[in-house]
Amino acid sequence: MKRGRGFAFTLIELLIVLAILGIAMSFAAPKLGERAAKGDIQSAFFKELLEEHLQYAREEGVPITIIGFKGTANMEKYSGERVSIPNVKSILSARINEENTIGLEYHINVYPDGICDYFELETDRKVLITSKPLLMTVFRRETE
C-alpha cells in the first residue's frame, strides 16, 4: 500500500524556501533598520532637548521656552544656541496644545514641575512628531 505524500516536504524543499526568504530579508533589513534608526534619533534628540530645558526651568523656577521655526528644522534653545532636528529638512506645520500656530515661529514650553507643552510637528517627509507632556517623551509616526 502506497502512502500519499500529503503536506510533507523534503529537506531540500525546506532549504530552498529558507534560502529565498534569506535573500528577500537581506534586501529588506537595511531599509527597516534605517527607518527605525531615524525614529530613534529624533526621539533621542527631543528627549535630550526637553531634559535640558527641564533643568533650566527648575533652576529658574519658571517655564522655559524652546523656539522652533517653520520651513526649517531649526530650533533655538533657551541658551540661544541653534540646533536642527535630525533627518528633517523642514517643519511644515506645528500644533501646540491642540492649537495651530500662526506665523513662522512656534513655542514649546517646559515647566518646572516636569511637564512640557503638547506638540505635533509635521515634517516634509510625511512624519508626525508628537509629544507626551506628562512623560516628557516624543514619538514619531509616518503619515499619509
Query: Domain extents for the chain?
Result: 11-142
| pLDDT < 50: residue spans in the chain | 1
pLDDT of residue 37: 52
pLDDT of residue 120: 94
Query: Per CATH, the architecture of 11-142 is what?
Result: 3-Layer(bab) Sandwich (3.55)
Residues 6+ apart with CB under 8 A from 38: 86, 87, 140
Using an 8 Å Cβ cutoff, are 132 and 115 in contact?
no
pLDDT of residue 2: 53
How far is the C-alpha of 45 from the C-alpha of 57, rounded, in Å? 18
pLDDT of residue 8: 72
Q: What is the pTM of this model?
A: 0.71
